Amino acid sequence: ATPAPSASPVTVLGLGLMGYALADALLTAGHQVTVWNRTPAKADPLVARGATLAPSVREAIESSPLTISCVLDYDTQHALLTPAAGALHGRTLVSLTNGTPAQARETEAWALALGATYLDGGIMAVPHQIDTPEAFLFYSGAQDPFDQHHPTLSVLGTPHHLSTDVGVAALYDLALLSAMDMMFAGFFHATAVATSHKGTSATDFAPHLVAWLTSMLSMVPLMAADIDSPAAPAYAQSLDLVAAAAQNMADAAREAGVLPDHFDRSVTALRQRIASGETEYTAASAVSQLRVPAR
Ligand code: FVH
């Protein structure tokens, strides 16, 4: 980022891998950065570059109109902020600590009762991507603090304000993390199956997996439109075909000495749908199968 010496003061609580990257980017952009971390020595390289290490969370918050918190989890965050709560009056707290929508809502209510403004955020980047074009961050909560601190938040990555409903950033964040987790689970399963063939390494197989997943990703917008539309879907397969393929995937895993459990469960669920008279596999039906039935 281009240094901007007049950029406003900002406090970062937590100097783990991500908190450090956030503080580092803000310093590079010319902000006056105050930091606090349970293990103070992690601040040394930042202090050498001009950051101020606060001796307490309270003093850290009091140093800036904006405090960004990025620690392990919400329980840790709450334990750190509670003794310093009075300092938040008239200031903005942005939580980039990973948490649930319910935790975001509780924290917003807590902060508002203290006379603070609050934004909840989700970082869609790994530490080395902070302050690069790949990094984007979700925010939700009141519009005013987002607009006021937009220049500072932009330093970290492209900021998207999703909703004044404070839970939405965490909802999207965890939805995307879930997709990533399942994608990597698929990669690990596929690699276990493919490398059961002597002479095939994970490195040999990886380019095929990347090409296949990249090609399949282009179907996501099409399927999303199908999910949203009551019209006949553009993408549909017969349930018989999908169940037969799932059975083959389960059997191939078994033959390769790989746990077939996921596909066994899929086969059971698909056969139940066929037995109940369903014939089509669509994106909308796949999403609907995931919903917990209302009581
Ligand atoms: N790293 C990543 O790729 C992801 C990207 C998306 C967002 N996440 C979330 O960011 C939060 C912090 O993650 P992190 O990568 O910085 O995590 P660590 O390097 O493990 O650092 C943890 C920090 O939390 C402090 N901490 C932990 N327990 C306590 C405690 N009981 N009291 C006070 N502070 C605590 C820890 O302090 P220290 O160990 O350095 O003293 C670090 O500052 C997280 O929500 C991710 O899900 C990152």
Average pLDDT over residues 195-209: 98
Here the tokens at position 9 are 């003061």
Distances in Å between the alpha carbon of 230 and those of 224, 253, 292? 12, 37, 21
Is the Cβ atom of 46 under 6 angstroms away from ligand 1?
no
Residue 43 CA to ligand 1 centre (angstroms): 14
Between vectors from CA 61 to CA 155 and to CA 42, what angle results, nearest 5°?
70
Residue 70 CA to ligand 1 centre (angstroms): 6
Is the Cβ atom of 97 under 6 angstroms away from ligand 1?
yes
- How many Å from the N-terminal Cα to the C-terminal Cα in the chain? 52
Residue 4 has pLDDT above 70, yes or no: no
Nearest alpha carbon, ligand 1 atom 28 = 72
pLDDT tens digit sequence for 225-256: 999 998 888 889 999 999 999 999 999 999 99
Helices marked H in the chain: 17-28, 44-48, 57-62, 74-81, 101-113, 143-156, 168-194, 202-217, 220-228, 239-255, 261-275, 283-290
Is the Cβ atom of 98 under 6 angstroms away from ligand 1?
yes
- For the chain, the residue count is 295
Amino acid at 200: T
pLDDT tens digit sequence for 28-84: 999 999 999 999 999 999 999 999 999 999 999 999 999 999 999 999 999 999 999
Q: What is the pTM of this model?
A: 0.94
Average pLDDT over residues 272-295: 92
Ligand 1 atom at shortest distance from the alpha carbon of 177: 6
Phi, psi of 183 (to 5 degrees): -65, -45
pLDDT value, residue 232: 82
Phi, psi of 230 (to 5 degrees): -80, -10
Of 177, 180, 183, 131, which is closest to residue 157 (Cα–Cα)?
A: 131
Is the Cβ atom of 21 under 6 angstroms away from ligand 1?
no
Is the Cβ atom of 30 under 6 angstroms away from ligand 1?
no
Ligand 1 atom at shortest distance from the alpha carbon of 19: 16
Q: Give the count of alpha carbons within 13 A of 141, CB side only.
A: 31
Nearest alpha carbon, ligand 1 atom 37 = 38
Residue 3 has pLDDT above 80, yes or no: no
- Which residue among 11, 12, 18, 76 is best mutated to probe the pocket of ligand 1, counting the most ligand atoms within 8 A of its Cβ? 18
Between vectors from CA 16 to CA 84 and to CA 118, what angle results, nearest 5°?
40
